[in-house]
Amino acid sequence: MSIHDPQDYSVSIEEMRKIFNLNVHVGMLIVDEDENITLATDQILKNSGYSAEEITRTTFPQLFKVRATLRELYEFYFGSEMSLMEWPHGILISKCGETYFFQFSIAKLKYGPKVMYLLTMRDREEGPQLNLLQRFSDAFLKDINLGVLLISMDFTLADVSDRATQILGMDREHILNKSLEEIFATVPSQHKLVQRTVLHGAVVRNHAVSWTNNMERFELLLDSNVLKDSQGNIVGAYVIFKDVTNMRSLEEMVQRSDRLAMIGQIAAGTAHEIRNPLTSIKGFLQVLRRTFEVQGMNKEQSYTEVMLEEINRINELVNEFLLLSKPKHVSYERIDVTEVLRGILPIINNEAILYNVHLQYEASYHLPEVIADRELLKQVFLNICKNGIEAMSDGGTLTITEKVETVDRNVCIDIHDTGSGIPMFVIDKIFDPFFTTKDTGTGLGLSVCQRIIHDMGGTIRVSSKGFGTTFTISIPYA
């Protein structure tokens, strides 16, 4: 009985035994629906090292390693439109741990209400060459670094790699042999990883896509192509995707650093030229305000106050501009981060009270010292804490947590707020210069913070899942 004969056979258990008695030198066995081994020929017993009684207490998955259940294999080969003429393959693991590569055919047998599977084994080396689909499956589905989807001609998922299920955030048993349209039913068409055109020969190479599985966001590079049989007929398609999230983050960090360096160069050359005339204007306006006050010209006095406020705002912007350039008077020394945080906790707490926010500080004793500038570190902590407090307009909790990453040798400070979170389409831009969601913000605060921490050899990461935001400041310890 060969695998490309899709009939079911109704037989009795006695007929099964007769078949086995006639084929004692052929590798054959019978497995029930629960994948318990019922009968096995002498050839199987010899290779496995089990006795006839022992093997009936063994399940098929314990003895044989294949990429799917017998039911899935049977339905895949008989339930698809693909004309697969080769046999599936796997590994037999003997009682003493030896392995045998084999290929097998499957027939479905019935006696009474029960369904059994008759498997005929043969040495893998004796079989014909594998077709493209099986070659692909054998080579790539075991690669944990690749997400792989195999698609049949009726646009159903024939097989999937373990890495793909991790990235998609889906269980293998829930998506196997299901329509791709059903699997990605909740995903907008422009964001689906697989389109029907893949079965029409549409080739994709290094296509960059973003995927969010409700827990993590991945940046993927996607390839796809069709699979053909020996006659050149399309028998299916495959999609491969590689997780390049870390690489994309590094590229964005480099680009952002370049932008900051350019702005810093501009700032260093122009900030002083801006501040000089502003100082003169501010001085004369203060004189005018005093004169209007003495003469009782309240309306004119109010005008000067507005102008002075705007000049102060320009001065603040210029100061932040100067911080984007390389700080001129940086004093790097061994710093106790806990001491720095405790020194500014009263300031943070006073700001929190104004917004009805509760401050929670989770210290980690005996933190290693870091090499940093104390005043600049204070500025970073105050800026990010202030942003977190202002994000909780209806009150909430700001949590500051200290911890140590021994693997990467970093001291980490987590600053978590319970605000509404940062939308996914915004989170990639928050460190860009001049990007802000505040009505009165300059959009330079986080850019400055990132520049300061970057110069210390550290990083700032942000994560937000719709119910709060966490900024993680990591600095290498001495």
Q: Are 106 and 3 in contact (CB under 8 A)?
A: yes
User: Mean pLDDT, to the nearest integer, of 443-464?
Assistant: 83
Whether residue 250 has pLDDT greater than 70 = no
Instruction: Indicate if the alpha-carbon torsion angle 341, 342, 347, 352 is positive or negative.
Output: positive
Residue found under tokens 């705002």: 313
Considering Cα of 405, then 408, then 410, then 415, what sign does the dihedral take? Answer: negative
Give the count of beta carbons closer than 10 Å to the beta carbon of residue 278. Answer: 15
Q: How far is residue 217 CA from its own chain's centroid?
A: 4
pLDDT at 127 > cutoff 60: no
Long-range contacts of 252-255 (CB under 8 A, 24+ apart): 252/428
Give 312-316's long-range contacts (Cβ < 8 A, gap of 24+): 314/274, 314/278, 315/275, 315/278, 316/442
pLDDT-derived band of residue 136, with 50, 70 and 90 as boundaries?
Answer: low
Q: Which of 386, 390, 369 is nearest to 378 (CA)?
A: 386
pLDDT per residue as tens digits for the range 299-348? 888 888 888 888 887 877 777 666 655 555 678 889 999 999 999 998 89
Bigger pLDDT: 304 vs 431: 304
* Chain segment 107-126, per-residue pLDDT in tens: 777 766 777 888 887 765 44
- If one compares 470 and 93, the residue with the highest pLDDT of the two is 470
Tell me the C-alpha distance between 419 and 202, whole Å.
45
Using pLDDT thresholds of 50, 70 and 90, give the confidence band for residue 209.
confident
- Tell me, what's the pLDDT at 358? 93
Token couple for 280: 């003169």
Q: How confident is the model at residue 434 (pLDDT cuts 50, 70, 90)?
A: low
Say which CATH topology domain 333-476 has: Heat Shock Protein 90 (3.30.565)
Q: Which amino acid is at 49?
A: G
What is the helix (H) or strand (E) element at residue 119, kind and residue range?
strand 114-123
Q: What is the mean pLDDT of residues 59-65?
A: 83
8-128 belongs to which CATH class?
alpha beta
Is 214 a residue whose pLDDT tops 70?
A: no
Among residues of the chain, what percentage have pLDDT more than 90?
Answer: 10
pLDDT of residue 173: 77
In this prediction, residues 128-148 reach a mean pLDDT of 59
Q: Which residues pair with 371 in a beta bridge?
A: 334
Enter the pTM of the model: 0.43
Tell me what the mean pLDDT of segment 266-273 comes to.
Answer: 65
Q: How confident is the model at residue 4 (pLDDT cuts 50, 70, 90)?
A: very low
The CA distance from 408 to 476, in Å, is: 8
> Yes or no: is domain 133-243 CATH 3.40.50.2300?
no
Q: How far is CA 53 from the centre of its chain?
A: 48
Q: pLDDT value at position 411?
A: 93
Per-residue pLDDT averaged across 221-230, rounded?
Answer: 81
Rg (CA), the chain: 34
Averaged over 191-216, what is the pLDDT? 76
Task: Calculate the average pLDDT of the chain.
Answer: 77
Tallying the residues shown for the chain, one arrives at 478
pLDDT computed for residue 289 by the predictor: 87
pLDDT mean over 61-90: 65
Q: Provide the pLDDT for residue 1.
A: 34
User: Which has the minimum average pLDDT: 8-17, 30-39, 406-415?
Assistant: 8-17
Highest mean pLDDT among 184-198, 328-342, 385-399, 459-473: 385-399
Least-confidence region, from 149-163, 256-270, 324-338: 256-270
Both tokens of 351, joined, read 């700001």
Contact between residue 27 and residue 43 where contact means Cβ atoms under 8 Å apart:
yes
pLDDT surpasses 70 at 85: no
Residue 454 — pLDDT band, cuts 50, 70, 90? confident
Residue 402 has pLDDT above 90, yes or no: yes
pLDDT at 15 over 90: no
